[in-house]
Amino acid sequence: MDIDMPVVLTWAVMISGGLWLGDVLLLKPRRQEAAVALSDGGTAKTDVDRVLREPAVVEYARSFFPVLLLVLMLRSFLAEPYQIPSESMVPSLEVGDFVLVNKFAYGIRLPVLGTKIIDIGEPQRGDVMVFIPPHDPRYFIKRVIGLPGDIIRYENKALFINGERATYEFVEQFEERLPFSRGSIPIREYLEDFGDGVHSTYRYSFTEQPREWEVPPDSYFMMGDNRGKSGDSRKWGFAQASNIVGKAVAIWVHKEPGLHWPTFSRNQWLD
């Protein structure tokens, strides 16, 4: 089950802040009036202090509200951690990598709603971007391939952007064992360059039909670097500008699935 942390934090801030504010405006004045009445009647100071004491739930709300608000502001407007759940961005990002997502690189957005309130920048070709795809409410992470107005063609496992073929440099070939089988499939690693930086991609031996897309306004064509294991814009369409979460800028920690300690062996800035 995926937990939507922005929603959880927003509700936690609203509830804790509401409890604290309600106490300040309604309950605390009543306690003070009751304490004054008891004092005038000669009641012992210990009893007066007991009347003035905040309810436990209000005390907790007052203590947690500023902390929760600070965390919400940091995650919403500055940076947010994100864990890589699948192999779609291998070899650039591995399962278990925790990446830092710059939340203001593409503009300041309201938490939960995602409405842009301050325009700072736009996604660039080659960026590794976190976003919400059109078919799934969860966060996805892919590489920006096509910008609004671009013509993208994918043929023979090669990218063509506005009629120009990306350049490729062969790195190596290796075998990957198929699950529940004694067989394996050859995979080739290439360095791909489409004019905005070089990154590694994996190609599989199975065939794919050539296809072509024109990127609509306020949309982006997204692809994983592990082309044979990535569900991306080739399958479900375009990422909408209104559903952008932020730009992935660094790997800050890595943890293998299961009972393993986190390590910093893969710490690096992303291209």
The CA-atom distances, in angstroms, between 215 and each of 17, 218, 251 are: 43, 9, 29
- Angstrom distance (rounded) from CA 213 to CA 70: 42
| Burial readout 34-62 (b: 16 or more C-beta within 10 A, e: otherwise) | ebeebeeeeeeeeebeebeeeeeebeebb
Q: Where are the alpha helices (DSSP H) in the chain?
A: 5-22, 28-40, 45-52, 56-77, 233-236
Q: What are phi and psi of 168, to 5 degrees?
A: -135, 140
Closest CA to 7 of 92, 112, 154: 112
* DSSP for residue 217: T
Active-site positions read: 88, 142
- Extract the tokens encoding 202: 């994996």
